Amino acid sequence: MQTIRENSFIKHEIKDILMADAALILAFSMDFAIHSSGGYLHNLLLFLPISALAVSLSFILHELMHKFVAQHYGAIAGFRTSITGLLVTLATGAFGFLLGIPGATMIYTNTFTKRQNGIVSLAGPLTNFAVFGAFLAVDVIFGSSLGPYLQSAIGFTFFISIFLAFFNMLPIYPLDGSKVLAWNKEIYIATMGLIFILLVFFAGVSLIEIVYLIIIALFFSMFFRAGRMF
pLDDT tens string 202-230: 766 677 777 777 777 777 777 666 554 44
Residues in the chain: 230
List, for residues 145-202, the tens digit of each pLDDT value: 888 899 889 988 988 898 889 889 988 888 899 999 999 999 999 999 998 888 877 7
- Integer Cα distance of 121 and 214 in angstroms: 18
List, for residues 53-89, the tens digit of each pLDDT value: 999 999 999 999 999 999 999 999 999 998 988 998 9
- pLDDT-based confidence at 96, cuts 50/70/90? confident
230 within some domain: no
- Integer Cα distance of 86 and 76 in angstroms: 23
Whether 40 and 54 have beta carbons less than 8 Å apart is answered as: no
Q: Check if 209 is active-site.
A: no
- Integer Cα distance of 146 and 95 in angstroms: 32
54 within some domain: yes
H or E segment and range at residue 202: none
Distances (CA, A) of 203 to 20, 144, 164, 199: 24, 18, 12, 5
- Integer Cα distance of 114 and 105 in angstroms: 18
How many structural domains comprise the chain? 1
Which amino acid type is present at position 56? S
The whole-model pTM stands at: 0.87
Whether 125 and 165 have beta carbons less than 8 Å apart is answered as: yes
Distances (CA, A) of 164 to 33, 74, 148: 21, 26, 24
pLDDT at 3 over 70: no
Query: What percent of the chain is helix, strand and coil (3-state, nearest 5)?
Result: 80, 5, 15
Calculate mean pLDDT across residues 26-51.
Answer: 92
| Maximum average pLDDT range among 10-14, 32-36, 103-107, 121-125 | 121-125
Name the residue among 35, 52, 53, 224 with its Cα closest to residue 138: 53
The domain in which residue 177 lies consists of 2-225
197 within some domain: yes
Pick the catalytic residue from 6, 13, 63, 209. Answer: 63
Please state, as a whole number, how many other Cβ atoms lie within 10 Å of the Cβ of residue 129.
16
